[in-house]
C-alpha cells in the first residue's frame, strides 16, 4: 500500500515552513534548521495534528461519536484531539495524568473551552489505571448507543506514525525545491514515540542517509528503542515497505528528562530562554525545551560534530509555558 492510499483527512496548515536558526547555529558551530510544526495551526497547532489526520479518518470511517484519549496535564495531543472531536461533531473525553488543579491554565484551559470531559487520574496510579479507565469510558459510550474511538497516548500507533512519514516526504520536497542537501541529522522530542517511528520510516523511504535522534522527555517502562522499533516495523508493514528496524539502531538520548515528564528542568528552561533571546523563538518546558537542551549538549560533547546539517522538529506546545510563569521568570530581577 502506498502512503497516498491510506485514508487521511486534511486538518493541518501544510506544508509547515522551514526556518534557519543562524544565530544559535553559529554559536553551536552547526547548520541548524527548524521544521515549524508548531505552525500546523489546527486546534492551536503542534505535531499531533499530523497523526490526527490519519486517526480521525479512521474514526470517521468507523462512525465514532465519542473520542477518547489520554496524556499529561499539559498534553498537546489531548488538546488537539479534543479540537478534532468538536470539528467532526464528536464528544471529547480526556483521561489526564495528574490531580485536578485549582486553576485551569495552559492546555487545560483550552481543553475546558473545547468542552472536553476531563477525568483526572492520580499520577502515581496513572500507568496502572489508564487503559482500564479509557475502556470504562468506551463501554459507557457504547451503553448509550454511541460508538467510541480510543486513541492511544500521543496518538502513538502504526497508523498515527503515518503523519511523520508524510512529514519527511514533505521535507524532502521542500529541500529539493530549495536546492538544499538533506540534513545529516533530524532531532525531535520523544514522549510516546509515534513521531520518531514515523521519522524513521520516512527517512528510510525518502532520506536514507539522514540519521534520526530522539531526545527523551519522559521515562518509560518499556525501553524507547524497543517500543519505537516495533511501531516503525508495524508502520512499514502497513505501507508494504520492505524495511525492518532494529532497536539497537534507534538512537535515543535519555539524559534530559529532569525530575519527571512535564516537570520543567533547569537545562530545558535555560534552552527556552536562550532560544527566545537569540532567535525570538518560543519553546515549551514539557517537550521542545528539554529536546533543545539535549541537542545543544549533543553538539557540545561531540555526539553531533561541528559543521553538521541538523534539522530540529518544533512540535509546538507554547500553551504549556503559561502554567510555569513563576518558575520561568525567577531569573529576572526586574
* Catalytic residue positions, numbered: 75
- Distance, CA of 207 to CA of 307 (rounded, Å): 19
Please name every residue paired with 198 in a beta bridge, in sequence order, or none if there are none. Answer: none
- Distance, CA of 186 to CA of 330 (rounded, Å): 32
Q: Report the side by side order of strands in the sheet with 31-36.
A: 18-20, 31-36, 309-314, 185-190, 211-216, 251-253
Report yes or no: 239 and 3 within 8 Å, Cβ to Cβ.
Answer: yes
Beta pairing, strands 31-36 & 66-72? unpaired
Of 48, 45, 47, the residue nearest 69 (C-alpha): 48
Query: DSSP class of residue 11?
Result: -
Report yes or no: 285 and 326 within 8 Å, Cβ to Cβ.
Answer: no
Amino acid at each position: 500500500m502506498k502512503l497516498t492510499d491510506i485514508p487521511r483527512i486534511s486538518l493541518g496548515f501544510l506544508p509547515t515552513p522551514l526556518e534557519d536558526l543562524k544565530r544559535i547555529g553559529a554559536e553551536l558551530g552547526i547548520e541548524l534548521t527548524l521544521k515549524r510544526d508548531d505552525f500546523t495551526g489546527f486546534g492551536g497547532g503542534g505535531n499531533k495534528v499530523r497523526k490526527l489526520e490519519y486517526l480521525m479518518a479512521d474514526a470517521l470511517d468507523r462512525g465514532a461519536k465519542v473520542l477518547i484519549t489520554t496524556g499529561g496535564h499539559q498534553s498537546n495531543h489531548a488538546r488537539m484531539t479534543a479540537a478534532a472531536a468538536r470539528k467532526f461533531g464528536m464528544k471529547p473525553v480526556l483521561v489526564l495524568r495528574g490531580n485536578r488543579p485549582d486553576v485551569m491554565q495552559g492546555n487545560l484551559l483550552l481543553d475546558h473551552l473545547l468542552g472536553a470531559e476531563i477525568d483526572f487520574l492520580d499520577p502515581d496510579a496513572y500507568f496502572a489505571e489508564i487503559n482500564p479507565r479509557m475502556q470504562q469510558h468506551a463501554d459507557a459510550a457504547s451503553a448509550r448507543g454511541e460508538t467510541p474511538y480510543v486513541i492511544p497516548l500521543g496518538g502513538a500507533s502504526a497508523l498515527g506514525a503515518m503523519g511523520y512519514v508524510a512529514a519527511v516526504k514533505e521535507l524532502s520536497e521542500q529541500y529539493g525545491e530549495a536546492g538544499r542537501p538533506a540534513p545529516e541529522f533530524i532531532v525531535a522530542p520523544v514522549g510516546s514515540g509515534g513521531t520518531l517511528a514515523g521519522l524513521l520510516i520516512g527517512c528510510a523511504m525518502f532520506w536514507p542517509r539522514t540519521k534520526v535522534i530522539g531526545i527523551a522527555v519522559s521515562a518509560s517502562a518499556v525501553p524507547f528503542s524497543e517500543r519505537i522499533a516495533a511501531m516503525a516495523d508495524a508502520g512499514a508493514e502497513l505501507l508494504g515497505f520492505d524495511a525492518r528496524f532494529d532497536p539497537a539502531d534507534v538512537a535515543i538520548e535519555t539524559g534530559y528528562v529532569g525530575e519527571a515528564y512535564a516537570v520543567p528542568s533547569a537545562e530545558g528552561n535555560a534552552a527556552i530562554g536562550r532560544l527566545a533571546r537569540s532567535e525570538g523563538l518560543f519553546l515549551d518546558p514539557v517537550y521542545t525545551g528539554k529536546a533543545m537542551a539535549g541537542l545543544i549538549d549533543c553538539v557540545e560533547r561531540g555526539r553531533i560534530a561541528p559543521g553538521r546539517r541538523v534539522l530540529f522538529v518544533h512540535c509546538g506546545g507554547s500553551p504549556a509555558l503559561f502554567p510555569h510563569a513563576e518558575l520561568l521568570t525567577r531569573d529576572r530581577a526586574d
